[in-house]
Amino acid sequence: MTSPRTRLVAAAALTAALTVTAPGFAAPALAAPSADPAQHSAQHSAHAIPFTAATAVQQADGSFTLSWTAPGARHVTVYAGTDQEHVPHRAAVARGAGSATVTVSGLGAADRWYFELVPDRGAPLVVADRSLHLASAPNFRDLGGYRTADGRWVRLGRVYRSDDLSKLTDQDLAKLRRLGIRTVFDLRTPAERQAAPDRLPAGARSVAANVLGTADTGQFNVTSPQAAVDAMIAGERTMVSADSARAAYGQLLDAAGGRGAVLFHCTAGKDRTGWGAAALLTALGVPAETVRADYLASNTYRAQANAAVLAQLPPAYQALYRPLLDVRPEYLAAGFDEVAARYGTFDAYLGRGLGVDARELRRSLLAG
């Protein structure tokens, strides 16, 4: 019988092998992360931002669809800029009611557009499309812009998640440098790093944080679709319990709360990276359904690449390998199940398992 670690390593091996051939959950009932000592003042300040939902999505034609809900606000004015810290108010690009969906077009080319939503009552909120729209790394996206259960918002431009960085173009690298990415956590094995070395923006520091704790990903022979699903579930549990995984994620979350933008990635940006993102967002107090949606979004961002991989396989094998290319609610749920079984609460996992102070994370990465 193979061990959970062996199954995790083997599943990662096949996922990586399939990925590089491509061209170009209700979470279980865990005790929520504890509130900050200054909970009263935090909740008071949270009310200053009246938005309960807000998104910006760039469309294929370059326009943006903005949606928001701000109970208590009668109207919202939208301004656009390329620096989230200094969005100019020279001219509004859109206006709407307290709850609205609008389209903004004609902005022109930029590394990234930010939209400041200014309500007639309460403090403004800056939103942006989370995707960086990098053809060379389709799962590259911002972990900011999510609302927490207590009404605060995860800051944009502080933590990014991605898939393989070896195919980044010079233009991509220049964009990442201008976005201020200074530390890159590589969650892959040494063999993966050697086979597909990262291309990093100038001035960025690389940190090897091998989640698997092995030199290579090994090999994996899929015998049935259910066997593949079982391997992914076992792997997710191991990403909580393995010493190498706890060391890697502890280092990552500790750095995420520091200065400068942090990027972390694996090969497909969905399993090792997916648990890292879920752990960080949960530590920040983002609701479980939002954490799950961010995790499952890899299926959307990687849809074209995954379809290309499956198209290269004989039809009889596609059903066998699809579970390794997907992310599924039961995979993520297995990770939270393991947290509950080993630590009881998520805060205990953060503290005893990862050595992370969640209060520091929240102070650094939340607005409102």
Q: Which residues contact 226 (CB under 8 A, 6 or more apart)?
A: none
* Residue 166 near residue 197, CB atoms below 8 Å: yes
Looking at residue 181, its amino acid is I
Contacts 24+ apart (CB under 8 A), 85-94: 87/114, 87/115, 87/116, 87/126, 89/116, 89/118, 94/66
Tell me, yes or no, if 266 is annotated catalytic: yes
Q: How many CB atoms lie within 10 A of CB 109?
A: 7
Dump the DSSP string for 278-336.
HHHHHHTT--HHHHHHHHHHHHHHTHHHHHHHHHTS-HHHHHHHHHHH---HHHHHHHH
Q: Which two tokens stand for residue 132?
A: 């960086």
* b/e code 278-316 from CB counts within 10 Å (16+ = b): bbbbbbbbbbbebbbebbbbbeebbeebbeebbeeeeee
H/E element, 14: helix 4-20
User: Which residue out of 12, 126, 212, 266 is catalytically annotated?
Assistant: 266
- 114-119 and 125-127 as β-strands: parallel, antiparallel, unpaired? antiparallel
**Calpha distance 334→25 (Å, rounded):** 9
3-state helix, strand, coil in the chain (%, to 5): 40, 20, 40
Residue 123 has which token pair?
A: 């403090």
Q: Among residues 351, 284, 296, which one has the least CA distance to residue 149?
A: 284
Contacts of 17 (CB under 8 A, 6+ apart): none
* Residues annotated as catalytic (active site), given as ranges: 266
